[in-house]
Amino acid sequence: MHTLMSNLMRSRTMKGMTASLLPVLLVACGGGGDGGNPGNSTVETHDPAIHEPAPPEGGSSEHADDSTWHEQCHADDTSMVAAEGPALNMSTNQLIVKLRPHVSASDSGYGRGSRNASVDVDALTRVVDRINARANASANASRGLPVRIAVKRVMSGGSAVLSTTGADPSVAALADELMREPEVEYAEPDVRVHASAQPLDPHFRDMWHLHDSDVAIRMPGAWDVTQGNREIVTAVLDSGITPHPELAANVLPGYSFVSNALAANGVPRGPRADDPGDWLSEEETSAGGAFHGLPAQPSSWHGTRVAGIIGATANNGIGIAGVNWYGAVLPVRVLGKGGGSTSDVVDGMRWSAGIPVAGAPANPHPARVVNLSLGSIGACSRTFQEAVDELNAKGVTVVAAAGNGGNNTIDMPANCRGVISVGASDTTGRRAFDSNTHPRVTLSAPGTGILSLANDGTRAPGAADYGITSGTSFAAPQVSGVVSLMLAVNPRLSPREIADILKRTARFPAVTQTTRSCRVIPPGRGILDARAAINAAAGTRSGSRS
């Protein structure tokens, strides 16, 4: 089991990607999942030796103050610097470009500074033509093949996606070239993202992570206060969902923002958020295949698993229960075969929050919580940061998985300002061996051996099923579910207030009280305490969404 878990998590981090198919790769980050216990089921105590590799040992001195320890643990760390460069080994043939406000507003119906300003395509085309002219001149001088860029589509936030053709392009170099144009506010690679968790044991039925114990998130006491509110919508930006009796009562009609035809796998952009499967065959991943460089794999049903952790129906006599029994779940498909792109994800983020997106109908059910169980290597991009800022300004809380590299780093967009970043703990209360840890991680939730919904299809969808998952991808939705319960008892809470409450009420389990080792302590301010967070939210009546 140890080897299987380790190999699965390593193989799904998607290192060494070469596909020119999708823009910058966003990958789902495994992490503590969540489910619910329908009341009277019993959960056995697990032997950590069965499910986890032995964690490293730390020192013996106690840390008297959690917040002080959190700062000291990473005080001298500089390893994040290496991660905050361009995404590594994640090739893309697309860029995201935004013109300066006075340029974008000149040919649109929106004024300067409008968050929904359209793109002056004529002005952008003139910039592109200048770049192409210089590329042609350079190619003629060197007798090489020119690299050409073209406007592919307008996206949300006043930005546009450019595609490249011709010689093997350096997208980072093209972005630098575009940044030298006076009309351009910023240009950056359209980074790819991907979901990365797989089931580990289909017969493992216990939902230890929800229980009222020192190493779990203590849901029973939280459910005494609230089981959720249909008016609070949580958007799941992921691979879409498959039909499941545990989701039918809580899922709203969603939308797919996957723009690449091969990745979309038959479900292009439009009002369908179902998951057709994201399997990769040996033929597709071999030399010459559309996904060359990625490992062959069965369909992950990643979005179904994440949605089940948040909102599986409770007290229906079957299966499991989600964190939020009665809250609404809005599926938004942004990941397909081989992953997804930054541009598709941020379009999905804005649409989820009720912000207009060109080409998509208005969202009649704007979300208050957005879950991003996906990520990519690198610093927070301008594209992601602007989207997060807009969502926060509308009172929308963004939760993201910290990543599964097992390093003192943090994935994008979890490293963006205003995002609640979630690491993973294991069945002993220690840091999950593959969870990223860094000062920017907000808190942790269980991320090992998490029971949730699944599907038994290896390629196309089959029958509804259940399965075990691990990784920060499944820790993040536990936090998202608790945030939605906090909003159910106090809908005026702002994203900043929610983050403050989560940090203030998180706790370090007893097993960590005799060590200061950053390799042992759960990342962030400790493990999510649902009962304490919801009680604190209920007592914070001065909350404001601004």
- The span from the CA of 274 to the CA of 256, in Å, is 8
Among the listed residues 263, 252, 202, 273, the one whose alpha carbon sits nearest the alpha carbon of residue 454: 202
Cβ pair 293, 16 in contact under 8 A: yes
Hey, how many other C-beta atoms are within 10 angstroms of the C-beta on 316?
15
In the predicted model, residues of the chain with pLDDT beneath 50 are: 1-24, 30-67, 69, 75-90, 105-116, 196-205, 542-546
Strands (DSSP E) found in 357-487 = 369-372, 397-401, 419-425, 443-446, 450-455, 464-469
Q: Of the residues 302, 341, 421, 438, which is catalytic?
A: 302
How far lies 65's CA from each of 140, 442, 502, 524, 525, in Å? 65, 16, 16, 13, 11
Q: Which region holds residue 447: left if phi is over 0, alpha if psi is between -120 and 50, else beta?
A: alpha
Strand order in the sheet with 191-194: 24-27, 191-194, 340-341
For residues 210 and 477, give the distance between their C-alpha atoms in angstroms, rounded to a whole number: 12
Residue 66: CB atoms within 10 A of its CB come to 17
Q: Tokens standing for 531?
A: 């009962």
Strand 184-189 and strand 94-99: the pairing is antiparallel
Is 238 a catalytic site residue?
A: yes
Token readout for 253 is 């009609």
Please check whether residue 453 is in contact with residue 466, taking contact to mean a CB–CB distance below 8 angstroms.
yes
Quick one: pLDDT at residue 316? Answer: 83
**pLDDT tens-digit map of 243-299:** 999 999 999 999 999 999 999 998 889 999 999 999 999 999 999 999 999 999 999
Distance CA 532, CA 119 (A): 46
Q: Rounded distance, CA 67 to CA 513, Å?
A: 14
Which backbone phi and psi does 13 adopt, to 5 degrees? -75, -5
pLDDT reported for residue 102: 75
The CA-atom distances, in angstroms, between 190 and each of 22, 163, 242, 252, 319 are 8, 10, 28, 29, 39
Secondary element (H or E) of residue 192:
strand 191-194
Considering the candidates 343, 373, 473, 480, report the single residue annotated as catalytic: 473
pLDDT at 70: 53
Please report, for the chain, how many H helices and E strands are present, in that order.
Answer: 16, 16
Q: Is 302 a catalytic residue?
A: yes
Catalytic residue among 34, 120, 206, 238: 238
**Phi and psi dihedrals of 381, rounded to 5?**
-80, 160
